[in-house]
Chains A and B, each alone.
Chain A
Amino acid sequence: MDTIIDGGTHKVAYDPATRTARLAGVMRLNGMAEYAPIAGLLSQCLTKTDVLTVDVAGLEFLNSSGIAVLSKFVIEARNSGTALTIRGSKSIAWQGKSLANLQRLMPTLIMDMQ
């Protein structure tokens, strides 16, 4: 798996073999501007494959700006017709309601909660 973005406390990687984008660590970036590289990377993944998994099981914290980025990405995936799976963790607090909202933004979204 190639680590494409390494922000110290957080990492973003994409594995073409499993077609999985993985977000891990703690993301407390300040505003949409600082999230732009991550948002760009996720959008790029949509152009590469029509079946994509986004793994956030290792993402311990995501602030509201990050949730907004993830929400916009899910809408983008819905509009592009990509078969999207989000792999999360039940033990991480922020994911409960936020991932439910993602599910509602994209009814075909497969939630894989571990």
Chain B
Amino acid sequence: MSQTLPRIGPATAASPVVAPGRHTFRSLTLKQAAVTLVIALLFGILGSAVELVFDWRSMREEVAGTMRRTLAMVEPSAAEAAFQLNDRLAEQVARGLAEYPAVAQVTLIDDMGGDLATFARGTADADGTLADRLFGDLSTWTLPLVHEGRPVGTLEVGLTAEVAAERFFERATTNAAMGLLRAFAICGVVVLAFYLMITRPLLRLSQQVMAVDPANPGATPVPPAAGHRHDELGGLIDGLNGLMSAFQRGLDQRDKAEGELTALTLELEARVEQRTAALAAAKQEIEQLNGRLAAENVRLGAELDVSRKIQGMLLPKPEELAAIRGLDLATYMQPASEVGGDYYDILQSGGDRVRIGIGDVTGHGLESGVVMLMTQSAVRTLVASDEQDMGRMLGILNRTIYDNVQRMGSDKNLTLALLDHTPREGGGGSLRIGGQHESVIVVRGDGSVELVDTTWLGMPLGLVDTVEEFVGETEVTLAPGDGVVLYTDGITEAADASDALYGLDRLCRVVSDHWAEPADRIKQAVVDDVMRHIGGHVIYDDLTLIVLKQK
């Protein structure tokens, strides 16, 4: 009956946290470094571009300024040379200008259009396009030469963009390299600061959280991080510790409840076992009782069989009844399922004298059967000894039965009516009735019915030691066609399914209705009617019926 409850909890569940290690550190720091680098580079490139534009502009200013100053410096000499048309001086001016590496071509023209001096430097223009774009607009300078308020000629100077561009590119390269270097430096500093301030404490916290026993999270609270007591990290640790202690409380409550449940389960199992044992004991007892009951039933069944046999074996045979002259007799007896103690007998004695006894022993079963048997024997004995005094007969019968019932330790008694029929001269007969039993139905030839109450003719036999004082007798004269009907209370108290009794009135009515018929047919009519009344219901008591018709 034992059953283990399933355990659910962190003790058996796999840890959902990813194992700690350098991988986490690397990936976090690397991501942060990459993002920082990209941002630093973007800002560096932007800064460099702005710087480059400013450089380009100042470079152009510088070139233009230098040119203006130079031209201002050479202007008097050039004007003098143009005024004098002095080739040598012009040559000197041109050569002087050619000293500048940026000057590619110098032409001094007089006001007539004649060249006084010309200088041209061969240029190897490799990527002149970009240089021209940047500085091309500054390549041609024309200076009108004036002497004493009169134009005397023109000085034309051509510059090569190469020289200025070369210097510009040199500075731009340096600039870009510096920018790159700056970006990396910023990136490094930022990553380091971020690592020291955030990543490293987080990693430590992560390791401490990993170290927490999932089955006992409240036992080892995470220590506060140095230097982070009052910042967001400190708050995170506090929150985490609160969470874990709450979790611990939950676990403790669960364990407690589980413990209680286990105790209850064990107690229940123990109780179930006790009950099972008690049930088994009860079952065994019931089986024993059933066995005894079965044995008792067999015994009772055997007893009932014996009782039924006793009752049946001493009943008068049909041929005995047929042999009786002067009377048309029909009898019926149906024992109840639990045999009662109905008794009747019809005996012929001393010529045409007919002695009839009918009685009902109280109760059912073997004991009632035995009392019925001794009654039958005693009555037969008295009839055989030709005893005719009603009082003496009933007195002896009572004494015999009373003493025997006392000996049996029984409380059985019986109603018993004795009838003594003698033929009358000239037809018909007379019937003496004594003893207490059901009312005797006297039926006249025309079917009319009279009742003889026997209450005052006797006492139940076996109840008290003497009954002589209570015994009486009455006499009924029967004309041919008249008769009597005797019965036990099994007939009048036969119950249908709704417990309604058959009743004396109905019995009288049926008898009266069929009285013209032979005794046997009358008997059958009554039996059929009683059975109709009972229907399928239980027959509680023995049914006994005697129809006597005077011939």
Contact = CB atoms under 8 A, between A and B. Distances in A.
Our verdict on whether A and B bind, yes or no, reads: yes
Interface of A: 31-32, 35, 63-65, 67-69, 71-72, 75, 97, 100-101, 104-105
Interface of B: 362-363, 409-413, 436, 455-456, 459-460, 463-464, 470
A35 B409 CA distance: 13
A100 B454 CA distance: 12
A63 B410 CA distance: 14
B325 to A, nearest CB: 35
A contacts with B: majority SS: helix
A104 B413 contact: no
A74 B331 CA distance: 38
A69 B459 CA distance: 15
Contacts of B460: 67, 71, 101
A84 to B, nearest CB: 16
Nearest to A96: B455
B464 A75 contact: yes
B455 A68 contact: no
Given A101-B459, A101-B460, A104-B459, A68 B470 contact: no
Contacts of A69: 411
Contacts of A63: 362
A71 B464 CA distance: 8
Nearest to B465: A75
A64 B455 CA distance: 16
A105 B459 CA distance: 9
A55 to B, nearest CB: 22
A68 B463 contact: yes
Contacts of A101: 436, 455, 459-460, 463, 470
Contacts of A72: 464
A64 B489 CA distance: 14
B459 A68 contact: no
A65 B362 contact: yes
A64 B411 contact: yes
B362 to A, nearest CB: 3
B464 A64 contact: no
Contacts of B436: 97, 101
Nearest to B368: A64
Given A67-B362, A72-B464, 15 more contacts: A31-B410, A64-B362, A64-B412, A64-B413, A65-B362, A65-B363, A67-B463, A68-B362, A68-B413, A71-B460, A71-B463, A71-B464, A97-B436, A100-B456, A101-B436
A100 B457 CA distance: 12
A105 B464 contact: yes
Contacts of A67: 362, 460, 463
Contacts of A105: 459, 464, 470
9 contacts: A31-B411, A64-B411, A64-B412, A67-B460, A68-B362, A69-B411, A97-B455, A101-B459, A101-B470
